[in-house]
Amino acid sequence: MSKRQLRRARMRRSQTRTRLLTLSGVIGVALCLAAVLIYPNVRPAPEVIPITPQTYPMVEANSMGDPNAPVSLDVWEDFQCPACKTWSDRTKPLLIASYIETGKVHFTFHFFPFIDDGRGTESDHAANAAMCAADQGRFWDYHDILFVNWNGENQGAFSDRRLNAFADSLGLDTGAFGACFAEKPYDDMIQQDMKDGQALGVSSTPTIIIDGKIVENPDGANLVPQYDHIAAAIEAALAEAGQ
């Protein structure tokens, strides 16, 4: 073999090695991307903490209580919001017993999924899932199981797999729920809730509004109003309504 032929053979071998290295790099990057995209959907989901559903008064989708009650209570919340979980666990039951079950207040949950803020989709997807549960008359049960299973912001507590698992845990028609959740039919409603809240001055969650007025915490603007503050605002609204 001549020197020219040897040089050509070496060049071909070098070009072949370069192509193989390039191909290996491309395959490696592709495998890494596939792992990032696929693993969250195939890894074992954390165990679902079940709840014992309770009876809520006069439920209609994401509202409860007498729609003709003299006072309206509207709360804007994000299912990933820790303060919303605390408010739901501690204050909401007291308000239900004192004012909603007694027909004095009509209560409506509104969506304000601001925690996503370009960092995730869990708040928005949880809101859609809750409304899909509402299609089966189970909004409040789904609301409760979301908060019981919350464990941090954008940490996977409300991954799509878990949102479907919550429906199964509650005994919902999972076929109907899954079809609804896949379509995300409530996106426009959820976004409109956010716009309506912002128009009323909502900038954080939970924000409590009674008859169109935000209830402030007298101890500090950044603190969530406690039961006594909300009850006082309700009593004032009842007095204004002649009740």
Residues 6+ apart with CB under 8 A from 179: none
- Cα–Cα distance between 189 and 41 in angstroms, integer? 27
Report whether pLDDT(192) > 50. yes
By the 8 A CB rule, do 84 and 90 touch? no
pLDDT by residue (tens digit) across 19-47? Answer: 766 665 556 555 555 444 454 455 555 68
Question: Where do the H-state alpha helices sit in the chain?
Answer: 3-42, 82-90, 92-95, 122-134, 139-148, 160-169, 174-183, 187-200, 227-240
Q: What is the pLDDT of residue 35?
A: 47
Q: What is the pLDDT of residue 36?
A: 46
% of the chain with per-residue pLDDT over 90: 72
What is the CB neighbour count within 10 angstroms for residue 131?
A: 22
Q: What is the pLDDT of residue 119?
A: 74
Least confident interval from 95-104, 111-120, 146-155, 161-170: 111-120
Q: What is the pLDDT of residue 218?
A: 77
- Cα–Cα distance between 84 and 82 in angstroms, integer? 5
